[in-house]
């Protein structure tokens, strides 16, 4: 199967209300069978702020505002991000300042709040911080082995019926967990599984992604730029900060790092040869797998650069070569 044939066909609609002279690429949307609205093909992830402590709030607000201006509509947050600070900031900037009815807002219930009363309370609190009556997508951030999925999914379905949740998703779920969760939904289905997925970290999740494709579950790819590695960061030396290494799914661990760096450098050389940004290859390779990348961005310039990268679609030959190089093929 060619990469292109696996890709759900995004409708390339024009982005709305650009607020500046910068060229605005169409972001695209992916229809999802179990969602009330089509799902934007590219999103802004709001994990970094608050969590890493040093984030400058004004800069983060400017980043969200710039994303909105340039047509990004999918914003991914979670109750645990900055202990609610991420949701509150998104609510402030996006919805209070800009109206935000067009926004596609996704948030997550913590793995510590999966009992029915906790799920309900968590959503009430998230909606209050986001200043919304409903979210477009509500994800279980990760399963908790001590809480039966029947309890969690039953409550999520009730919230979906009440219209507080446009679609139900999960994150970091294995095939067994997806099957178990799906069994406890009767009127709707799991719309999304958000997983760690990028060119440099993919084989481990093959079975999960195959299951999602077979069951019409959209894969949202988190850490799509491998924490900046797929922007060329750290490829010429430079210390990887501890907060970047942490939660990076072993990308930066000493037993793997030399190989990862070698492959990332080969990808960078391919990008240079093809005359495209490295991030274009990283993001469009994911899109060709049928995944929707959710990118962490902490500065307005990063939003601009990543949207420029999204607007350049590498050829099928370049993406196929990238796949081979990322697997370690040197020929």
Ligand X SMILES: NC(=O)c1ccc[n+]([C@@H]2O[C@H](COP(=O)([O-])OP(=O)(O)OC[C@H]3O[C@@H](n4cnc5c(N)ncnc54)[C@H](OP(=O)(O)O)[C@@H]3O)[C@@H](O)[C@H]2O)c1
- Those residues whose C-beta lies under 8 Å from the C-beta of residue 223, and which sit 6 or more positions away, are 196, 197, 198, 201, 248, 249, 251, 296
The answer to whether residue 308 forms part of the interface with ligand X (CB under 6 A) is: no
Indicate if 81 belongs to the active site. Answer: yes
Long-range contact list for 15-21, CB < 8 A, 24+ apart? 15/70, 15/71, 15/72, 15/73, 16/71, 16/73, 16/102, 17/69, 17/71, 18/69, 18/70, 18/71, 19/69, 19/70, 20/69, 20/70
The answer to whether residue 222 forms part of the interface with ligand X (CB under 6 A) is: yes
Choose the catalytic residue: 81, 211, 222, 234. Answer: 81
Which residues from 194-213 bind ligand X, rule CB under 6 A?
A: 194
The answer to whether residue 167 forms part of the interface with ligand X (CB under 6 A) is: no
Question: Any idea what DSSP says for residue 30?
Answer: E
Cβ at position 84, least distance to ligand X in Å: 15
Asked if residue 188 lies in contact with residue 160, where contact means CB atoms within 8 angstroms, the answer is: yes
State which of residues 306, 307, 321, 322 lies at the interface with ligand X (CB under 6 A).
306
Cβ at position 47, least distance to ligand X in Å: 3
Asked if residue 80 lies in contact with residue 108, where contact means CB atoms within 8 angstroms, the answer is: yes
The answer to whether residue 298 forms part of the interface with ligand X (CB under 6 A) is: yes
Q: Which CB, 117 or 272, lies closer to ligand X?
A: 272
Cβ at position 196, least distance to ligand X in Å: 7
Asked if residue 209 lies in contact with residue 195, where contact means CB atoms within 8 angstroms, the answer is: yes
Which residues from 36-65 bind ligand X, rule CB under 6 A?
A: 45-48
Question: Any idea what DSSP says for residue 18?
Answer: -
State which of residues 66, 73, 120, 231 lies at the interface with ligand X (CB under 6 A).
231
State which of residues 61, 85, 227, 321 lies at the interface with ligand X (CB under 6 A).
227
List the x/- string, 71-100, binding to ligand X by CB under 6 A: -----x------------------------
275 phi/psi in degrees, rounded to 5:
70, 35
State which of residues 158, 189, 228, 311 lies at the interface with ligand X (CB under 6 A).
228
Asked if residue 189 lies in contact with residue 216, where contact means CB atoms within 8 angstroms, the answer is: yes
Cβ at position 5, least distance to ligand X in Å: 26
The answer to whether residue 193 forms part of the interface with ligand X (CB under 6 A) is: no
Exposure on the CB side of residue 289, measured as CA atoms within 13 A:
26
Q: Which CB, 120 or 249, lies closer to ligand X?
A: 249
Strands 291-296 and 43-45: parallel
Binding site for ligand X (CB under 6 A): 45-48, 76, 141, 171-172, 194, 222-228, 231, 233, 294-298, 302, 305-306
Active site residue ranges: 81
């Amino acid at each position: 199967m060619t990469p292109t044939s696996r890709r759900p066909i995004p409708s390339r609609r024009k982005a709305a209300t650009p607020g500046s002279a910068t060229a605005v690429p169409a972001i695209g949307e992916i229809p999802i069978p179990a969602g009330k609205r089509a799902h934007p093909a590219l999103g802004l992830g709001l994990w970094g702020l608050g969590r890493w402590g040093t984030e400058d709030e004004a800069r983060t607000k400017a980043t969200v505002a710039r994303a909105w201006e340039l047509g990004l509509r999918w914003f991914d947050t979670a109750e645990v991000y900055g202990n609610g600070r991420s949701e509150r900031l998104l609510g402030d900037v996006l919805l209070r300042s800009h109206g935000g009815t067009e926004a596609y807002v996704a948030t997550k219930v913590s793995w510590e709040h999966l009992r029915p009363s906790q799920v309900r309370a968590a959503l009430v609190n998230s909606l209050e911080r986001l200043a919304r009556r409903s979210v477009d997508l509500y994800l279980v951030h990760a399963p908790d082995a001590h809480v039966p999925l029947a309890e969690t999914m039953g409550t999520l379905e009730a919230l979906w019926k009440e219209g507080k949740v446009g679609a139900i998703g999960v994150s970091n779920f294995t095939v067994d967990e997806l099957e178990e969760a799906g069994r406890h939904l009767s009127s709707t289905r799991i719309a999304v599984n958000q997983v760690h997925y990028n060119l440099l970290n993919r084989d481990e999740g093959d079975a999960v992604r195959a299951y999602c494709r077979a069951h019409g579950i959209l894969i949202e790819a988190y850490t799509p730029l491998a924490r900046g590695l797929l922007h060329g960061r750290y490829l010429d030396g430079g210390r990887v900060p501890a907060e970047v290494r942490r939660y990076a799914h072993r990308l930066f661990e000493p037993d793997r790092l030399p190989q990862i760096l070698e492959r990332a450098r080969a990808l960078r050389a391919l990008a240079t040869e093809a005359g495209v940004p490295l991030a274009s290859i990283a993001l469009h390779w994911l899109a060709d797998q049928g995944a929707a990348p959710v990118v962490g961005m902490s500065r307005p310039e990063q939003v601009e650069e990543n949207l420029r990268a999204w607007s350049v679609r590498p050829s099928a030959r370049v993406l196929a070569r990238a796949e081979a190089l990322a697997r370690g093929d040197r020929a």
